[in-house]
Amino acid sequence: MPIVNPYWLITTLASIPAIAGSPTSPRVTLDPIGSFRSGGVGAAEIGAYHPATRRVYFTNAERNAIGILDVSDPASPVAIRWIDLAPYGGGVNSVAVSERLIAAAVEGVVKQDPGRVVVFDLEGALVSLVEVGALPDMLTFTPDGRRIVVANEGEPSEDYSVDPEGSVSVIDLPEDPRRLGQRHVRTADFRRFNTEPIDPTIRVFGPGASAAQDLEPEYIAISDDGTTAWVTLQENNAIAVIDLDTARVTALLPLGHKDHSRHALDASNRDGGIRVRPAPVFGMYQPDTIRSITIDGTTYLLCADEGDPRGYRAFDERVRVKDLTLDPTVFPDAEELQKDEYLGRLRVTRTLGDTDGDGDFDALYAFGGRGFSIRDTDGRLVFDSGPQFELITALQNPETFNTDDSPEAGFESRSPERGPEPEAIAAGRIGDRTYAFIGMERTSSIVVYDITEPSKSEPVGYASRRRSAGQFSPSDPGDAAPESIVFVPASDSPNGEPMLITCNEWSGTVSFWRVSVEPR
């Protein structure tokens, strides 16, 4: 078993007692019900559930298709058919489902070219298609099903010779969706921020890029009334607010930085084991998935703070701490900090930290928050899970601590990168409690939080079907790298019990979990 620093193990036990349940937050158990293996890497990424037909629609990037599963019996999911998306573009990135329609986001054959949203009926017959911005990365229907909202990431080419603008497409569906055309597509762009001032902590840093080019929409949450969208700008460490009635960006919300000298992290895979400890490093939150949820009349934003650096052939912001010159006044212990066994191997951005412009670094900014956060709709932090994701993994499944999904990866290979990389998040109500379910991409695990009182959220459950490095088999990978999570309430579930659906990118599996809350 990996070495665990005893001080932090004791701290863990003291700081997260609710993982085993508490008087106010009973333990939540996730039991695997069934699984469908769709193929290899990328064969299951984004999923959507249609309660009336008890079907799951999911993206398979390996074959550029949408799979349709009958999950009337989630213990034995049955493949119905595939929807081939090759005629519509270079690759499928997202799928969403409304009462009567499927929508797919398909990037161009050249990523920097415009992409498409392709609409099908529930059986997979083509209804209509429209052109949207470059690299449509995620899409969703508004709650009433009358609009499709699409995050067009607009990533640059490897040589940065082409850098399309990021945007959000708002598609107003006509009563007869067969009549959907380009006139129904409106674009919320970021061009006004080319000249208007924005918060200086929002990162606009691509070489030669305008704000409109540099801001890259990633994931969308929609308000209950369908009038507002909150869109993560992951690389930029911000959230955009979109008025869907006017298709206009109304605000850019800076997310700030996580102080790991107050929290903690494991920053090295050369430190002899699991050593979660405070360090003079700031983490850029950089959320991937975002969800909105209303609790007691107040809307909150739930963020999976994965982190994402820019690493292109023409521009790579990543640098290891040991390769930087640190300001001797700020870091009098620089020699110790820059050892491989402490911070030396940690990757940080070279674009931030030289606050006085003298060529050395006065602060260190790492990628991602290594946890999840809850914010109000103005972006203010309500709750941060701190170091709990790493600490929980150290207790529950230490063999996979910060370790990549591939069998070649060494133990703790992700500690110098972004740690467990929280990627997927879902939320729902069971009884009188509200829960968040967060998937960690690298450790291939799910952690459950009781968020009934958002500012006092606490962990109440953990599960993983990942094979540890010694048990890994390409023919039976378990569930590796959850890319998306769907919560299905008991009222919509095929077996009458609350259920989670996970799409797992590395293992190519769509899996089903029974959610049980232990009685108090």
Distance, CA of 269 to CA of 121 (rounded, Å): 49
pLDDT of residue 8: 47
Percent with pLDDT over 70 in the chain? 92
Q: Which pLDDT band, with edges at 50, 70 and 90, does 6 fall under?
A: very low
Please report whether residue 359 resides in a domain.
no
pLDDT of residue 56: 98
CATH of the domain at 21: 2.130.10.10
The DSSP secondary-structure symbol of 17 reads G
pLDDT tens digit sequence for 436-456: 999 999 999 999 999 999 999
pLDDT tens digit sequence for 395-440: 999 988 999 876 677 899 999 999 999 999 999 999 999 999 999 9
Question: Do residues 458 and 21 touch, judged by C-beta distance below 8 A?
Answer: no
Q: Which of 165, 170, 125, 128 is nearest to 147 (CA)?
A: 170
First and final CA of the chain: distance in angstroms?
Answer: 34
pLDDT of residue 475: 58
Going by their DSSP bridges, the two strands 318-320 and 298-305 should be labelled as unpaired
Question: Rounded to 5 degrees, what are φ and ψ at 88?
Answer: -110, -5
Please report whether residue 478 resides in a domain.
yes
pLDDT of residue 4: 47
pLDDT tens digit sequence for 248-278: 999 999 999 999 999 999 999 999 999 999 9
Please report whether residue 361 resides in a domain.
no
Distance, CA of 435 to CA of 458 (rounded, Å): 10
Q: Which of 55, 47, 4 is nearest to 494 (CA)?
A: 55
Cα→Cα distances 222→37, 86, 139, 144, 488, Å: 31, 29, 11, 11, 18
Q: Which of 414, 439, 413 is nearest to 424 (CA)?
A: 439
Can you read off the two tokens belonging to residue 403? 């370790």
Which stretch of DSSP H or E encloses residue 391? helix 388-396
Question: Rounded to 5 degrees, what are φ and ψ at 74?
Answer: -65, -15
Please report whether residue 467 resides in a domain.
yes
Across the chain, mean pLDDT equals: 93
Longest dimension (CA), the chain: 68
Going by their DSSP bridges, the two strands 365-367 and 282-284 should be labelled as parallel
Distance, CA of 459 to CA of 382 (rounded, Å): 16
Going by their DSSP bridges, the two strands 381-384 and 136-141 should be labelled as unpaired
Does the pLDDT at position 75 exceed 90? Answer: yes
Please report whether residue 313 resides in a domain.
no
Distance, CA of 156 to CA of 333 (rounded, Å): 39
Q: Which of 231, 253, 93 is nearest to 167 (CA)?
A: 231
- The 10 Å CB-count burial string (b at 16+, else e) for 206-243 is beebbbbbbbbbbbbbbbeebebbbbbbbbbbbbbbbe
Provide, for the chain, the percentages of residues in helix, strand and coil under a 3-state DSSP scheme, each rounded to the nearest 5.
10, 40, 50
Does the pLDDT at position 373 exceed 90? Answer: yes
pLDDT tens digit sequence for 463-481: 999 875 555 455 566 898 9
Please report whether residue 97 resides in a domain.
yes
Q: Which of 94, 89, 88 is nearest to 110 (CA)?
A: 89
pLDDT of residue 466: 84
Q: Kindly give, in sequence order, each residue whose CB lies less than 8 Å from that of residue 417, ignoring residues fewer than 6 positions away.
A: 347, 367
pLDDT tens digit sequence for 277-324: 999 999 999 999 999 999 999 999 999 999 999 999 999 999 999 999
Q: Kindly give, in sequence order, each residue whose CB lies less than 8 Å from that of residue 301, ignoring residues fewer than 6 positions away.
A: 221, 230, 239, 290, 291, 292, 374, 375, 376, 377, 379
Count other Cβ atoms within 10 Å, centred on residue 400. 24
Report the amino acid identity of residue 173.
L
Distance, CA of 48 to CA of 492 (rounded, Å): 13
Distance, CA of 356 to CA of 365 (rounded, Å): 15
Distance, CA of 311 to CA of 314 (rounded, Å): 8
Distance, CA of 291 to CA of 302 (rounded, Å): 5
pLDDT tens digit sequence for 92-139: 999 999 999 999 999 999 999 999 999 999 999 999 999 999 999 999
Question: Rounded to 5 degrees, what are φ and ψ at 409?
Answer: -65, 140
Please report whether residue 493 resides in a domain.
yes
Give the domain extent around 155: 6-308+368-517
Which stretch of DSSP H or E encloses residue 11? helix 6-15
Q: Kindly give, in sequence order, each residue whose CB lies less than 8 Å from that of residue 453, ignoring residues fewer than 6 positions away.
A: none
Does the pLDDT at position 14 exceed 60? Answer: no
Q: How many domains does the chain have?
A: 1
Please report whether residue 315 resides in a domain.
no
Can you read off the two tokens belonging to residue 324? 């930087």
